[in-house]
């Protein structure tokens, strides 16, 4: 198998879609919101697209489907929910699904929505986390319960430490400001702030990011890091209580 390329396509205000391709010029797409910039990229690179993968039913992850079908009528839509327009293959927890260039393991992550899934490619060690995990944050709990979201994040936490993560929105600086303010541990976030600011300066975006670093700093994902233990001790909270404390405050930040 040849190496896979992941192109991050900015969409709408702060969304990301992804084009995955290899040197066979075959491609697949994740979470298209706007078809035009994606079609432009595919045409420039002379890529053929056969598969689109959707993480959840929100419009800002699906509204590009229609335009892509018009340009690539043979494309297959894979999604977790038959109500998502043009869904042909419905995916469930633990399914293995193949595109022309790679294969994904499906991990069900209810919380943000009930239908939410994330796409994990174990060969390439990449995860597409949609609106479940963001860099230094997690999605707002709209449809599920806090318990569900907590369990969903635990599943991501258990993936291999060298996993590269691609999330659905550029919310990182806001998430970082929230953690610094809420935890009052600004100095402990110095290193990661420097890294994030440099990522944004160089690439104009803060993604992708890495699971091992995320486990040190993202207390929504991991409450057992050094910072997590410190905060739990101060606030006299357990793991889930700390997650709940942060998620509830973030809703009003």
Q: Which residues bind Fe ion (CB under 5 A)?
A: 58, 131
User: Toward Fe ion, which CB reaches closer, 170 or 180?
Assistant: 170
What is the smallest separation between the CB atom of 53 and Fe ion, expressed in angstroms? Answer: 15
User: Number of H helices and number of E strands within the chain?
Assistant: 8, 14
User: Toward Fe ion, which CB reaches closer, 121 or 131?
Assistant: 131
What is the smallest separation between the CB atom of 201 and Fe ion, expressed in angstroms? Answer: 27
What is the smallest separation between the CB atom of 56 and Fe ion, expressed in angstroms? Answer: 6
What is the smallest separation between the CB atom of 39 and Fe ion, expressed in angstroms? Answer: 23
Is residue 126 within 8 Å of 6, Cβ to Cβ? yes
In this structure, what DSSP letter does residue 237 have?
-
User: Toward Fe ion, which CB reaches closer, 4 or 146?
Assistant: 146
How many CA atoms does the CB half-sphere of 39 hold within 13 Å? 15
Using CA atoms, how far residue 14 sits from 145, 165, 167, 170, 195, in Å, is 25, 17, 11, 5, 20
User: Toward Fe ion, which CB reaches closer, 27 or 117?
Assistant: 117
H or E segment at 250? helix 239-250
Q: What is the Cα–Cα distance from 120 to 53, expressed in whole angstroms?
A: 12
């Amino acid at each position: 198998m040849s190496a896979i390329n992941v192109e991050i396509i900015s969409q709408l205000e702060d969304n990301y879609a992804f084009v995955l391709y290899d040197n066979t010029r075959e491609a697949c797409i994740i979470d298209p919101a706007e078809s035009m910039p994606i079609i432009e990229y595919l045409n420039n690179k002379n890529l053929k697209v056969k598969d689109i993968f959707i993480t959840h039913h929100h419009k800002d992850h699906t509204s590009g489907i229609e335009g892509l079908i018009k340009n690539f009528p043979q494309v297959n839509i894979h999604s977790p929910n038959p109500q998502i327009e043009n869904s042909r293959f419905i995916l469930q927890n633990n399914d293995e699904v193949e595109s022309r260039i790679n294969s994904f393991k499906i991990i069900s992550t209810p919380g943000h929505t009930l239908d939410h899934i994330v796409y994990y490619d174990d060969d390439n060690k990449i995860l597409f986390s949609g609106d479940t995990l963001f860099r230094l944050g997690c999605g707002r709990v709209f449809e599920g319960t806090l318990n569900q979201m907590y369990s969903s994040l635990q599943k991501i936490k258990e993936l291999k430490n060298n996993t590269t993560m691609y999330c659905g929105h550029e919310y990182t600086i806001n998430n970082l400001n929230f953690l610094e303010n809420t935890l009052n541990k600004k100095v402990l976030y110095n290193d990661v702030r420097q890294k994030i600011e440099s990522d944004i300066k160089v690439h104009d975006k803060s993604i992708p990011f890495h699971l091992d670093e995320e486990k040190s700093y993202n207390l929504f994902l991991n409450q057992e890091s050094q910072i997590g233990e410190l905060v739990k001790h101060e606030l006299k909270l357990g793991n889930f209580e700390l997650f709940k404390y942060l998620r509830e405050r973030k809703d009003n930040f």
